[in-house]
Amino acid sequence: MKIDYPRHAASRLHAQLLEQRATFLNTIVASEAEVEEFRRHKSRVEPIPSLADLEALLDVAFFSSLTQEERKSVVFSLLYCDPTLAVESKWPVVRFASDLPFSVEQIRKLSPATDPQAIDIGVYPSNGELAIWGTVYLRRSQPGQRSFPPGLSFVSHQVGVVTVRDGLQDLLTFSHGQLTFTETHATFDSLGLRQLVGKAFHEDRSFPDRYTSAAKIIDMACVALNGGVGATVLVVPKGMTPKALDQAKYGVHESTRETLAAALADSNQIDLVRSVAQLAFIDGALVVDEFGMLLGAGTMIRTEQTPDFAIALIDPAAPSVPHTQIALSSFSGGARHRSALVFCYMNPGALALVVSHDGVMSVLVRPTQEDRVLVFRPFRKGAPLSI
């Protein structure tokens, strides 16, 4: 949908939030008094802004995303949350002594002290007007994992792009004049993505084992995604001799392979995993097997004399919508994507994660029983996909 400003989506978003809340309450089997008590609790824990406040939130988030602070683009996450609830719930928060005006200028000034992946700016009505009351630190249970406070957040990781989330659920994304509402019943979240990646792994492995490997490999790709760096990560089944690959420019000593494989199995070794992930930043692909064994970096994909084949383009936010199918010869993507498409087609069961400089990741796989490559795109920069 083409619109000028995100605020033009406020009425539709507001109606959607009210409808979802009513539908949820209708599913509760209890007395009227109990339902009413739960409604009040839900309204406090996950408040829905008024239409006017929703328009203001979208406005300020959008125009803040266009600004710079110390010559850097402003990135942030605004959490619509009652400060008294945050304090009573013992969330790790910093509440200011007095509220600040809710404005683009204040968001710009506060942005260096925040992190969209870890620290939100708390916003809530005060004396009838929206105000900034402090910052909220997202809880972390162990390295690489995080849980999110409930409620709406308004997130911007790049210029002119605003995403509205309800907890972990993306509701809409406004990107340079284009508005996309997410199918809330069919969102392809981090769990769904890991299940997809896990399908490329050997069926003899248990699902928890495959899931763990998939989560870590996704985390490796997200290092490039959240850093705004182009990269390609290729995942090959153990024992496969992949076709269409040159020898790696940067081979890996056996001891390093074992170290990385061990780190992938240990959630406390996430720093090592992410340092290895930066090898994907160099020219060529980072290649790992399904267990996370590092096979090489700077690996070039040979694309000459490739037959034309079918590509299915699938929106991970709306996988139930009929997908577009085109031929490779009609694909308009860049060289990095075209090479990964060829790799997947030539190696059924292998998988590719391709990150573009514009903060979008694609997941490519050719199922072993199909004669086409599936492309799941876009997974956007800042999405809660990493482990």
- Strand locations in 267-382, DSSP E? 285-289, 294-299, 310-314, 324-327, 351-355, 360-365, 372-380
CB within 8 A of 184, min separation 6: which ones?
Answer: 20, 169, 171
For the chain, give every domain's residue range. 6-181, 190-380
How far CA 90 is from CA of 86, 107, 138, in Å, comes to 6, 24, 12
The pLDDT assigned to 185 comes to 45
Distance CA 289, CA 239 (A): 8
pLDDT higher at 180 or 185: 180
The pLDDT assigned to 166 comes to 85
* Residues 301, 340 contacting (CB under 8 angstroms): yes
**Band of pLDDT at residue 17, cut at 50, 70 and 90:** very high
Q: What CATH code is assigned to 190-380?
A: 3.40.1700.10
The pLDDT assigned to 291 comes to 74
What average pLDDT does this structure show over 61-72? Answer: 89
Q: Is 377 helix (H, G, I), strand (E, B) or coil?
A: strand
Residue 381 has pLDDT above 60, yes or no: yes
Residue 61 has pLDDT above 90, yes or no: yes
The pLDDT assigned to 198 comes to 65
What average pLDDT does this structure show over 186-211? Answer: 61
Give the strand pairing for 231-236 and 285-289: parallel
* pLDDT above 90 as % of the chain: 25
User: Which residue(s) pair with 159 in the sheet?
Assistant: none
Written as one string, the DSSP assignment of 156-202 is: EEETTEEEEEETTEEEEEEETTEEEE--TTS---HHHHHHHHHTTS-
**Band of pLDDT at residue 55, cut at 50, 70 and 90:** very high
* Residues 195, 255 contacting (CB under 8 angstroms): no
pLDDT higher at 188 or 48: 48
Tens of pLDDT, residue by residue over 329-366, are: 888 878 889 999 999 999 888 889 898 887 788 888 88
Tens of pLDDT, residue by residue over 86-137, are: 888 888 899 999 999 999 999 999 998 887 777 899 999 999 999 999 999 8
Average pLDDT, the chain: 81
What average pLDDT does this structure show over 314-322? Answer: 67
Other Cβ atoms within 10 Å of 90 Cβ, number? 7
